Structure 1
Amino acid sequence: MSGTQIHVITLAEALPEHFPEVLETLSALANLCRQEEGCIRFDVYVDSTQPYQLNTIETWRNREDHQRHLDSAHVARGVLSLIGKMKGLPHIRILRPISELSE
């Protein structure tokens, strides 16, 4: 199992008419994700200048834990419940420290 933490930033935009429901879904999902093995951080933010823009910032112990998270039933349910309530697809960035570039 890889010992390098990974950081994930997800950018998404809720449709205005579904914004309260999207917030509720993401809040519930965040609470479940925080309980997962290997989850160090999972926070949901609203952009202060674009109120329907949502961001998650996550830190996982390693890639394997993050993949297990992506494969979980609660993530699948959450994603399915957001269909038709979001503007386009989310933009997901998986980041690694620059110290890994020399390895």
Structure 2
Amino acid sequence: MSIEITVLFDVVPDRLADAADAFVDLCAATRQEEGALRFDAWRSEEHENVIVLVEAWADQAAIDLHMKEPYVADFLAKVEGAYVRPPYVHRLRPLAA
């Protein structure tokens, strides 16, 4: 079974354009990873400054490897200080589990 994750990022309004660009780059690079089944960033229609990351991974090893990629460190440096509060991570499981 894959690992499903969503992450909500409440972005400081004047950093939104730069953060969105950083997410686009991160998604493009991450989608090339073998264990990345899905990695998409979305804008919330209800909350103007919220970016939602939707991820699916083959396993925990793929996530661990992803977090060691140089472009992840680059992304984190680009978005440092860009959030109103820490990202809100949801690691999901089926209701029947």
Identity of aligned residues (%): 23
- Return the letter of the residue paired with 1:36: E
Partner of 2:73: 76
Counterpart residue number, 1:13: 10
Deviates more, 1:71-80 or 1:20-29: 71-80
Cα deviation for residue 97 of structure 1 reads 3.5
In structure 2, the residue corresponding to 1:94 is in which secondary structure? Answer: strand
Unaligned runs of 5+ in 2: none
- Cα RMSD, aligned residues only: 1.3
8 A Cα contact 1:32 1:74, kept in partner: yes
2:23 match: secondary structure: helix
Please identify, of 63-72 and 5-14, the stretch whose mean Cα deviation from structure 2 is larger. 63-72
Structure 2: distance between partners of 1:70 and 1:92 = 15
Paired residue total: 97
In 2, Cα distance between the equivalents of 1:26 and 1:5? 22
TM-score by length of structure 2 reads 0.91
* Residue correspondence of structure 1 range 1-103 to structure 2 within 5 A: 4-98=1-95, 101=97
CA distance in 2 between partners of 1:58 and 1:47 (Å): 16
Structure 1 consecutive aligned stretches of length 4 or more whose deviation exceeds 6 Å: none
- Does the CA-based 8 Å contact 1:5-1:63 persist in structure 2? no
Structure showing greater radius of gyration is 1
**What amino acid sits opposite 2:49 in the alignment?**
Y
Distance in 1 (alpha carbons) for counterparts of 2:34 and 2:95: 25
Structure 1: which 5+ residue stretches go unaligned? none
Indicate conservation of the 8 Å contact 1:43/1:58, yes or no: yes
